[in-house]
Structure formats: structure tokens, C-alpha cells
Structure 1
Amino acid sequence: MKKFFKMLPSVDSLLKNEELKKIIDLAGRDLGKKTIKKYLATYRNRILETGAEPDLKQLISDIKTSLVKKSGKSLKRVINCSGVILHTNLGRAPFGKYMLDEISETISGYCNLEYDLQKGKRGHRDTHINEIITEICGAERVAIVNNNAAAVFLILHTLACGKEVIVSRGELVEIGGSFRIPDIMRSSGAKLTEVGTTNRTGIADYENAITENTGLILKVHQSNYFIGGFTEEASLKELAELGKRKHIPFVYDIGSGLINRPENLKIDDEPDVKSALRYGADLVCFSGDKLLCGPQAGIIVGKEKYIEKILRSPLMRVLRVGKMTYAALQTSFDLYKNEAKLLKENPAFAFLNRTGEEINLIAENLSEKLTKNGIKNYVVKTKGKCGGGTLPAVNLDSRAVKLDCFQDNRTEPSQEYLFHEYLRTNDFPVVAVLKEGNIYFDMLAVDSDETDILVDVICNWFNRQNQDAK
């Protein structure tokens, strides 16, 4: 056993090993040294436990694999073949080339984030987007924080801390990441007053709940589900008029970030910011990284007297955003000046506007390329979703390429799962649909120029399987 311990190389010799040298230079000497020590200790323990001769080639391979994994970037571009446009786990809205080109000049060097170029002295960061957002939304003022949950929290804490906030029972929502309206309200210091029932809440329910301690009326958009059948819902106009008559602010958490309603867009009855303000909401808050297709942000628009209170809150410093967010928001809202450009350059709108025939062309293109490489497949009709807490009732016509390569060899049913894992973990990750043992590549949110990458990724797997079989 002693001779086996002596067979293990020293840390210094492994640091100089030709096979490891390149990856150690990439990962850094400190990480390389730490990883080598870790695996040498593992192999010593293995000798003690088994008494077996160490496999030195495997030792080097283990060190190399570990360093490759640690030195690579964890956050990567992914090809989204899930059939969901605003996939919450895939970063929600993609920026798109136009957005990146527009903001790169601003953020690649210094910028006047808090410097007034006209006056030559310190300025305010919100001035860069206040004018364009108020103009597009029809608001008096705007405040920007780091996400919509923060926006809701800040509104409640500023305007209703220690007071009652009236909300319909049918709107006490939970979205991804365990964001629950009651929990946010409790943390803000506001007191929840539930009214109505899950399926029916009329204006009288709100009015009967008002007391001397009512701080605001809150409406929350049911962004990731919908209730149908025997239902009743107080209208925005009714709620706004009630708030005005009782001198209580009416706040609408829209969430989805639909600013207005472009013609011919598949948005069903999704509420929009501009209409909500026009109907009389005092404040509207929404996300920046959903249908707006901008950065993660919580955007609060509405009456100046309420926004001013929010901007003066010490929490604004805690929740404020930086130059990248302002630059991206500036570009996102600028697109609303030209509807044709908006529908083309806002990736979410571009995907939503695709017809089944357009998606079919992309699917057929991928299918033909795979067939030429000997991979059996066919195109199927599917139904996609907008996702991201938007348009929950809308099913979008889509097409997917379904692989038919695993049917001939049912002795290895795990191959589909191994392939699905490979797609996620290879150098260019692909998120596809694994359903009932079948792999689907849904083309709803896939750009035409991504099909060649998909072909390479898919073919690499099957080429490797064929080589292993030999």
C-alpha cells in the first residue's frame, strides 16, 4: 500500500503537468492548487479504503474536468425550445440585438447618470427616463426600483404603513419565487383587509370595507392564472371613482408591463398601463422584464404627489437601479414612439406576432437539416405560452420538431433522459421539452439563425453515441 501512496504525484508536478497547464492558467493558480490538493486527498483516502493502485490518468482527468467546470461561466446564453416566450427561469424577456446595440454606446464608457450636462453640476438619475416614460404612459411622474415586488413593497410602506389596504380575495396571488401579496404586505407594515370571494368581488365589497384607517385600495392583476365562469370584478373606473370620492389612493399592480395595446397583437384582455391611468388609477406598477422586454426593474407611474413621497423614502436608496437598467429602459420605451418598429424590435412582441406558418418554416428548416444528418424527426403542431406571468389564458399556435430516433431501441429507455440532460449541460445549452419519453424542440421563441447551432448540438450527441457503439 505504501508504494501506491508514493505513486501519487506532488502538487508542484501536477501544477506543471502539460495536460493541466492550460486549464490552470485559465482557472488561476490558486484554484488549480486547491483543486489538485482536494483530488490528491480523495485518491489517498481511496487507497486506504480499497488498497488498490491509483489510476493516475483518471486523477488528471478528474482534476481537469473539475477545473473546466469551475473556470467556465455559469450564466450562459440558452436556446429556448420550451414553447414559452417569457420563460421566468430563462431570464424572462430577451433583449435582442437592437437593444444591445442601442445601449452599448451608453454603458461602454462613462455616462452622465447623475450629472447635469446643461448645468455642469450633480443631477438626478431618474431625469433620464422620467420624460419619455411619463409621455408614453400618460403619467405625471415615475419611480424606478429593482423589481416589481420592490415596487409593491415601497408603495405599501410609503403610503399605507400601519394602515389597512383593501384587496379582493381573488387577487391574493402568488407568483414564482414564493412572492405572495399577503407576505409583502405584512413586511411593508400595511394591514391586509380581504374583501369579496375568490370568484366575485363587486364595488360594494370595497366600499363596505373602508374605515378611517384605510390607507389605500390595491388591485392586483391575476397574471399567471385566470378565473372563468360565475365571476364578478369591480372595474378600474369604479375603483378609481371610489378612491377619489373617499380620498384614498387607488393602486393597480399590473405586473406584466404591457404599456399600451398595439394593433394586431395577440394580447387578449391583458391590462395595459396607459388605459389604467386613463381610467383613473393613482399609481400603476409593473415589471420591466416582461412584455416591456427591458431589464429587470419595478416601474411605478402615476400621480406626482404620491410618486414624490415614494422618491423621498430612504428605501429608494436601498432599491434603486444603476446605469445599465436606465439605459435599457430608455431604449425599451423609445420603441413605443414607432409601433412598426416596436413590433419588430421588441423580441416578445415579435415572437407573439409570428403566425403558425412562419414558425412552421423555421421548424421545417431544422427538420430538413436533421434528416440530412440521418436523424429521424418530424414536425408537429403545438400550443405555446407567453409565460412570465402574462396572458395566462392565451394559447399560441406553434410548431415543434419531435425526434423519432429513440423508438428503434427500447432496451435503453433512459437515452431520452440522458439526451435531455446533455442538451442542458453542453457548451451551448438548449432547453427542450421532455414529455412522455419524447423530445420536442418548440420553435415559438427560436430565431431562424439558431437552427444551425441546434443542428450542431443535436448531431454531436448522436455522433458520439455512434462512436461509443463501435
Structure 2
Amino acid sequence: MSQKSNPKAHPEANYRLPQVEQLLQQDFLSPFIKSLSRPVVTMVIRDYFTQIRQSESFKHAGVDGLDITQALSSRLHGVLLQRQTAVINATGTIIHTNLGRSPIDPALWDAVKAVNTGYNNLELKLEDGKRGQRKGLLDTLLCALTGAEAGLLVNNNACSIYLLLHALAKGKEVIVSRGEQIQIGGGFRIPDILALSGAKLVEVGTTNITTADDYIEAITDNTAMVLIVHQSNFVIRGFTESADIKELSRRLPKEVILAVDQGSGVTNEPHFPEEKSVIKYIASGADLVCFSGDKILGGPQAGIICGDASLVQRLEKNPMMRAFRPGRVVLSLIEELLVRKLNEQESGRGISERQVAQLSSTLNKADRLTQLFPNHIEICPLKAVVGGGTLPDIDYDCWGVILAGDPLKLSRELRLASTPIIGVIQRDKFILNLASVTDSDFELLILQLEDYLYLKEGFIDGHCRGEQVRTVV
């Protein structure tokens, strides 16, 4: 750029930006290239240079005063924060949808490594060499767990509900209680899904009371299904009543399907007696029951449908099934998880089951943190929830700690730690709820807090960091 093209330019200003290719050789960009890729880093650099050239300060004074290295590092760090990364869940919500719901047990992950890093028999029947369905042992395992005649796996439980409606009730009536026409996260509304599937919603009962008579009296020649929906993330207390599934199953005409969105995935876990299980729904006469694979079950994101074999076959033949079917990673993980669950192995228990079973240990962990950081941490009693749209009316006693300082600042700075720590702000205090911190993450939490307090104040527990010796892992 010359002074002729920009008459307001400073005669001694430098208008030459670094060449992109030369800049990419700089050492400070190497970590970003490794984590983001060279093309992405290049794109960020070029976008930044475009903004510089269009700015008034550049037109008048060129690049004088610009710290390009610092500006690019900041921008690239912001891009890097968008990438999936491991975090420490100290929110007290064990199955946290924003934090990936159920972590996969490392033993489970390792067990399916060979199946997923090489070829496998995803759609091949080894007994005769012919093409098979993408089911593997899943059908058999689900039947053994739930008592159903057949089972099916899809991408998530929203797919399960849509598939049920589209394949079995398109163009016909589906009866739903007014108290169960819910909306869950992301704007997923039961009435909208019914309309999208082509089914016609028939409302019965009231917000707080819906009886078996309400369902039976609403049946017409065009009724295809009665749909019972898990209320997911809320409860209605007080004067309430819902239909008994066994009675409803007995009174419904044979051609009307009784489908249940159980949602949470409780099957045979001993720690959640308040929740009606998939097993009980099947035993009570429900034709189909669907639920999530990444909630109480503790697997990857998936939707599971169990029930009548002939109905499951109809679902499998629906054209939408090809869009909804999961890949081999999810299939193999769920398959391995179910085998271990049926064998009552520790790695077959979901994260919520494991964490709820050891809530008493949170007191010892909180005590240890206060001993390590007495000037910065205060112990406090808390409540924990399972979360993820399960057991909305149940909480559990546990312990955690309060960090001294500005809660908003603490929340932001710990989110930006090398392993982000996700806590909560309650009563204008920043709190780490230890109910959702796994044993392995607890040791990492200690190291992260030590690093944070050192960077923040230059000392830990009143001692100069330089006087301490520890192993960094």
C-alpha cells in the first residue's frame, strides 16, 4: 500500500504484514498446528490479516504497534477451546448432558479396540458367509436383560420415539396424557414429533391426573397407539394419578399398541428403586419400551427399543431405520457393556450407579482438599443429582468444597485450566461438588488446583512453590 492509495497514511508507517508461509514456520504456532491442523491455522491467520487490512488503524499507521504473535495466539486458543477435551465434572450432576453424559469405562473401551481398529463382521454372518443385519449379539443380550422378545438399537432415544410413531402410527391416532406432552433439552417436544412423524395427537386426561378410563374412552377405529412418556426433567407433586400399565395393557384392544418412553434406562440397578424400570414395564404388558443408552445404562449415545418381536421387525423394515442405525463403535460398546452388566462386573455398571454407591467417600475427599489447601478451601454439605433427564425428584446427600474468591472469576479461570474444572456457583460462592468427581479425576483435580493456586498467587498452603518438589503427570 502506497501513500498515493492512502493519502492519510503515515510516511514512515510499515504496511507489510508477514508472509503466511513464513509465519507458519514460527515455533509458537507448532502446538496449534498439531492440535488444529495446518489448514485451520492458516485460515485463522488469513482471516486475521484481512481484518487488519480493513481496519482504520492499519490504513493510517500500518502494522506499527501490533503484537501479531500475541493476537494470533489468543485467536487460536479461542478456536482450540471449541475442540472436544476431557474435563473434570465437579457440578454434582452425575450424568451431565453438557459434559457428555456417561463416561465410557476404560476397560470397556479397551475391550472393543480391536473390533474397531480393524475389519469386523458388522453385516456378515460368520456361520454361512452371507450378509447379515447390523445387530450382532445385541438382540439376545437385550432380551436376557429386559425379558423382552426382541431389541433394537438406534442413534438416540429421540430416534426411538420418532421411529415408533413413523413406522407404527403414521396417519393414525396416538393417545398421550396431557401431563406427558413434555419438552426436553434442545426444543424436543412430544407434540411436534408426533406431527413430524405423521401421527395424530389425541390428548387425554389433565395435567395432574390421567386414568386408564381416559385412554380407553378415547380409542377410535383410527387409534394406533397409546404412548406413555417419561417426564424426564420435572415432576408433578400433590394430587396426582396415572394409569396402571398392567390394567391399561389388559383393557386395550389387541390392535392398539402400548408403547412406553421409559427414558432413563433403569433396568436392574439396585440404587434407583423410585424409577419404574424397563423390566417392570415389559412384565406389566407394554408392547414396546424405549430408553437411552447413555444414561443409567452407562454406555455411548444410543436409543434402545425392546418389546414384541413382530413390532420390532416392523421397525427394522422401516426406511428411516437406515438413517437411524448406529455404526460399529456404538454397537460394539453397547454389546460389550451388556455382557459385563449381565455378568455383574464392575465395568458393566453405569457411572451413575457407581458414583451413587460411593457418595459417602465425598466427605473424605473434601477433608483431603481442605488439608491440602487450608487457606483456600472450605468444606460444605451439598446435594447431588443423577441428571440427564433421569430421577428428577431425587437428590442425594454428599460433600464438596467452597473456593475462596470471586465466584465468576474462579469459574472462568478454572474452565480454562489445562484440564478444565467445571464447578457451580451457588449462594454467590464457587463450589466443587465431589459427588460427580470420579476417583481418577480426583487426583487430577488436586494437581489442577495446585497449578492454579501457584499461578494465581505463587504459593500453596503458605509455602513458596520453589520449596516444593512434586512429580507432574
TM-score (structure 1 length as normaliser):
0.89
Paired amino acid for 1:59: I
Report how far residue 91 of structure 1 moved.
Answer: 1.1
1:359 has 2:367 as partner = no
The within-5 A match list for 1:180-199 is 180-199=189-208
- C-alpha contact 1:268 1:394 (8 A) present in aligned 2: no
1:449 has 2:457 as partner = no
Which of 258, 270, 282 is 1:250 aligned to? 258
- C-alpha contact 1:8 1:54 (8 A) present in aligned 2: no
Structure 1 residues 46 and 11, CA gap change in structure 2 (3 angstroms):
farther
Q: Deviations over 1:26-77 (max 9, x none)?
A: 6444434433333334344253466486235x21121233334445771111
CA distance in 1, matches of 2:147, 2:393: 28
CA distance in 2, matches of 1:255, 1:140: 19
CA distance in 1, matches of 2:102, 2:27: 43
Paired amino acid for 1:366: L
1:274 has 2:283 as partner = no
Q: Which consecutive residues of structure 2, in runs of 5 or more, have no partner in the other structure?
A: 1-9, 460-473
**3-state SS of paired residue (1:233):** coil
1:348 has 2:352 as partner = yes
- C-alpha contact 2:14 2:61 (8 A) present in aligned 1: no
Partner of 1:376: 376
**3-state SS of paired residue (2:322):** helix
Structure 1 residues 22 and 454, CA gap change in structure 2 (3 angstroms):
closer
Structure 1 residues 197 and 22, CA gap change in structure 2 (3 angstroms):
closer
1:5 has 2:5 as partner = no
Structure 1 ranges of 4+ moved more than 6 A: none
CA distance in 2, matches of 1:467, 1:215: 68
Identity of matched residues, %: 35
Paired amino acid for 1:172: Q
- C-alpha contact 2:298 2:349 (8 A) present in aligned 1: no
Structure 1 residues 382 and 452, CA gap change in structure 2 (3 angstroms):
same
Partner of 1:463: 454
Q: Deviations over 1:436-462 (max 9, x none)?
A: 331111010112232332233223333
1:76 has 2:85 as partner = yes
CA distance in 1, matches of 2:244, 2:359: 33
Report how far residue 116 of structure 1 moved.
Answer: 1.1
Report how far residue 228 of structure 1 moved.
Answer: 1.8
Structure 1 residues 197 and 6, CA gap change in structure 2 (3 angstroms):
closer
Q: Deviations over 1:165-194 (max 9, x none)?
A: 111111111111111111111101000111
TM-score (structure 2 length as normaliser):
0.89
Structure 1 vs Structure 2 CA RMSD? 2.3
CA distance in 1, matches of 2:140, 2:37: 47
Paired amino acid for 2:318: S
Structure 1 residues 221 and 25, CA gap change in structure 2 (3 angstroms):
closer
**3-state SS of paired residue (1:457):** helix
- C-alpha contact 2:341 2:348 (8 A) present in aligned 1: no
- C-alpha contact 1:164 1:213 (8 A) present in aligned 2: yes
CA distance in 2, matches of 1:46, 1:464: 37
Going by fraction, where is helix more abundant, 1 or 2? 1
Report how far residue 92 of structure 1 moved.
Answer: 1.1
**3-state SS of paired residue (1:193):** strand
The within-5 A match list for 1:11-30 is 11-20=20-29, 23-24=32-33, 27-30=36-39
Q: Figure out how many residues of one structure are paired with residues of the other and give that number.
A: 449
- C-alpha contact 1:268 1:391 (8 A) present in aligned 2: no
Q: Which consecutive residues of structure 1, in runs of 5 or more, have no partner in the other structure?
A: 407-414
Partner of 1:389: 389
Q: Deviations over 1:292-331 (max 9, x none)?
A: 1011111111111111111111111111111011111112
CA distance in 2, matches of 1:395, 1:146: 29
1:230 has 2:221 as partner = no
Which of 57, 61, 66 is 1:47 aligned to? 57
Q: Deviations over 1:393-435 (max 9, x none)?
A: 11111111111x32xxxxxxxx431221121222211110112
